[in-house]
Amino acid sequence: MRVKLIKKSISASGGENIRIDKFLANQILNMTRTQIKKLFLNGFVQVNESFAKPGSILKGDEIITFSVPETDQNLDQIESEDISLNILYEDESIIAINKPSGLVVHPGAGHKQGTLVNGLIYHFQQLSDINGPIRSGIVHRLDKDTSGVILIAKSNVVHRSLAYQFEKRTIKKEYFGITWGKWKDSKGVMSGSIHRKRTDPTSYEINNNGREAITEYNVLKTGEYLSEVLFSPKTGRTHQIRVHSAENKNPIFGDKKYGGGKNKAKGYIPEVSKKFTDAILNFDRHALHAKKITFIHPNTDDELSIDAPIPKDILKLQKQLKIINE
């Protein structure tokens, strides 16, 4: 009896510089590495309509097409969960969510449940599925510990329109961050290309072989040890603001991955170091918040801006740091 195959297509967005077999392992949650390897051996995986090898490195802008047996077609089905969502805006086409720190955007390795997508499919009947069930409605993403506004598409038509605006860099994004140190200039542009680290695939670095990344910044307030900064990324690379700030010797406060964690608190007088260390441990994330997003509404062609208020944990941190930083 011949087994019927089900063909699926997903975007490689977020998979730049990753082997395609590893990328698929994170996308098809309940399929083993051995099963995924068989997909390649049987010629069931294509990238931009060309047969792919498991070790091929993705650029992040490809379309991956793969076929699975009909009996396995539920391998990427996502469980709905009653997760509380802070809705900033909603109409018949778009949802804007104020994502809290600690919430992963979509399922992947180590995060099969408890993500924003699990909550979205519980609360909303209609979501875009261009990138498969694992990324239902997701047009762009925020890091797990970055809070703030994120757009959700209810249909594929709306998804394509928003994705096009991101691609053409016409969507305006503003992030509020607390960084270490005084900035050399009160405003400027950081433009180092960003590449995934070979020694640590969960981290990124400035590298000429990477993808172009541009971040504008405007220093709002500077103290003795820290600064409050408004960032406006013009590109959407993973960890972009965090990598650029670290490269500029002004890492995001609390960002242990890029030099802004408790080790940064060392080197000051003991009293100051202790206060900073306590603040970092109590805060337990990096101080970065997606504050505002401005785009053209796909249905009305009107410009729409959505603001996400600064969360309580950052407001509390500001008060705590003000005593140290003045």
Residues in the chain: 326
Q: Which of 76, 143, 145, 255 is catalytic?
A: 143
Q: Which pairs with CB-CB distance under 8 Å and at least 24 residues apart come from 49-58?
A: 52/20, 53/20, 54/19, 54/20, 54/21, 55/19, 55/20, 55/21, 56/19, 56/20, 57/17, 57/18, 57/19, 57/20, 58/12, 58/15, 58/16, 58/17, 58/18, 58/19, 58/20, 58/23
Q: Nearest 5 degrees, angle CA 90-CA 94-CA 95? A: 50
CB 9 within 8 A of CB 65: yes
CB 128 within 8 A of CB 156: yes
Mark whether 72 is an active-site residue. no
Residue type, 325: N
Active site residues: 143
